[in-house]
Amino acid sequence: MKLGIVGLPNVGKSTLFNSLTKAGAESANYPFCTIDPNVGVVAVPDERLNKLAALYNSAKVTPAVIEFVDIAGLVKGASKGEGLGNQFLANIREVDAIVHVVRCFEDTNVIHVDGNINPLRDIETINLELILSDAEILERRIAKTTRGARNDKTLAKELDFLQRLKAYLEAGNLAIGFDTDDEDEQAWIKEYNLLTYKPVIFAANVSEDDLADDGASNEHVAAVRKFAAENNCEVFVISAEIEQEISELDDDEKQMFLEDLGLKESGLDKLIKASYSLLGLISYLTSGEDETRAWTIKKGTKAPQAAGKIHTDFERGFIKAEVVNYQDLLDCGSYSKAKEKGLVGLEGKDYIVKDGDVILFRFNV
């Protein structure tokens, strides 16, 4: 599962990406790896892990991770091939969700490609490129389906849908806003892998002064919030520059630095958590003397498939899962206490794993 960081040039994408990957490298024991200079594996902050590790005296803590991709180079005209545009659009097609960075900070030393700060115009510029690229995909699909429909009458419905969807995009809308109750249409729109069908989080990049009140007094942030609310997406106020400074600090220093800024949590940490949940991901936990670890699954995953994340043998030989809620376990102070109180459930193969379940799998080898 991957998130792509997009935005116009000079809005702070690389600064954000560098602080994300650096924070990932520092955090816990996760073997940070750079697959590619533009892809970073980032640890998902999870305060439950250290507490659980303390309970079990675990030698090691391993957080869940997600991947971020820095997609630079998206500019006006990208869909027409400007500045290697099509290549960048192809990179976006491979991600599962998008973090759209918008510039809300004023700084005369950092040139804005369109002259002044106007995040709504910037969002529209990027969205337009994504829409044009999607319209082209639909155009090709329409041509193919039109040919097919000459001999196959069953294609008429999809052809009609493709035309309506294309017209909807050409009116300046994003595919994700297309409302349909028809099951065929819902399946098709997913299958086309459209850029504007991917879920989006906005990262409003502000200056240090705007952090303490979460951007409330910044008119640009207000504009982004309004747009996001109308389009059902979330906004996180961050300062990429400050995050870069934070990413150089160790955990204690980071806490002090945040307190000085009047913050409980860094914007980056919030953004990573929100990205994880935007992808529909949750974590279940395992804990023992060797290791306390978060395992990533899709919401709705059943116990055997969740076990399969640890090892395929766990899935194949699955018998039962001993499950206790993280908070219950912590409140009880030990696994045996939780068991005594009847808080440890013995669950079968149809159990749907929940976020924060602490699980011990029983399986046949």
Shortest CB 335 distance to ligand GDP, Å: 45
Judge whether 286 is annotated as a binding position.
Answer: no
The CA distance from 201 to 273, in Å, is: 11
Binding to ligand GDP in span 322-361, by CB under 6 A = none
Draw the binding track, 190-219, toward ligand GDP (x: CB under 6 A; -: no contact). Answer: ---------------x-x------------
Characterize 209-222 residue by residue with b for buried, 16 or more Cβ atoms within 10 angstroms of its Cβ, and e for exposed. ebbeebbeebebbe
38 binds ligand GDP (CB under 6 A): no
Q: Are 60 and 291 in contact (CB under 8 A)?
A: yes
DSSP label at residue 302: B
- Here the contacts of 45-48 (C-beta below 8 Å, separation 24 or greater) are 45/269, 45/272, 45/273, 46/283, 46/294, 48/285, 48/294, 48/326, 48/356
Q: How far apart are CB 32 and ligand GDP at their closest, in Å?
A: 20
Contact set for ligand GDP, span 245-264 (CB under 6 A): none
Nearer to ligand GDP, 109 or 151 (CB): 109
110 belongs to an annotated ligand binding site: no
The pattern of x and - marking residues 118 through 157 that bind ligand GDP according to CB under 6 A reads: ----------------------------------------
Instruction: Tokens 């960075």: give the residue.
Output: 101
Q: Decide if 113 contacts 9 (C-beta within 8 A).
A: yes
DSSP tag of 352: B
Measured N-to-C along each axis, helices 156-170 and 119-149 cross at an angle, to the nearest 10 degrees, of: 160
Q: Pick the binder of ligand GDP from 3, 6, 11, 126 (CB under 6 A).
A: 11
14 annotated to bind ligand = yes
Residue 12 makes contact with ligand GDP by CB under 6 A = yes
Query: Is 105 an interacting residue with respect to ligand GDP (CB under 6 A)?
Result: yes
Residue 183 burial (10 A CB sphere; 0-12, 13-18, 19+): exposed
Binder of ligand GDP out of 59, 84, 90, 110 (CB under 6 A): 110
Asked if 104 is part of the footprint of ligand GDP (rule: CB under 6 A), the reply reads no
**HSE-up (13 A, CA, CB side) for residue 345:** 15
Question: Does the annotation flag 10 for ligand binding?
Answer: yes
Sign of CA dihedral 299, 301, 305, 306: positive
Residue closer to ligand GDP (CB basis): 184 or 208: 208
240 binds ligand GDP (CB under 6 A): yes
Please tell me the count of residues contacting ligand GDP according to CB under 6 A. 17
Pick the stretch among 122-130, 131-139, 155-163, 237-245 that binds ligand GDP (CB under 6 A): 237-245
Using CB under 6 A as the binding rule, whether residue 62 contacts ligand GDP is answered as no
For residue 93, the number of C-alpha atoms closer than 13 Å in the C-beta half-sphere is 16
Is 323 within 8 Å of 345 (Cβ atoms)? yes
12 appears as a binding residue in the annotation: yes
Closer CB to ligand GDP, 206 or 307, in the complex: 206
Residues at the binding site are 10-15
Residues at the binding site for ATP are 10-15
Q: Using CB under 6 A as the criterion, which residues of the chain lie in contact with ligand GDP when the complex forms?
A: 7, 9-15, 72, 105, 107, 110, 205, 207, 239-241
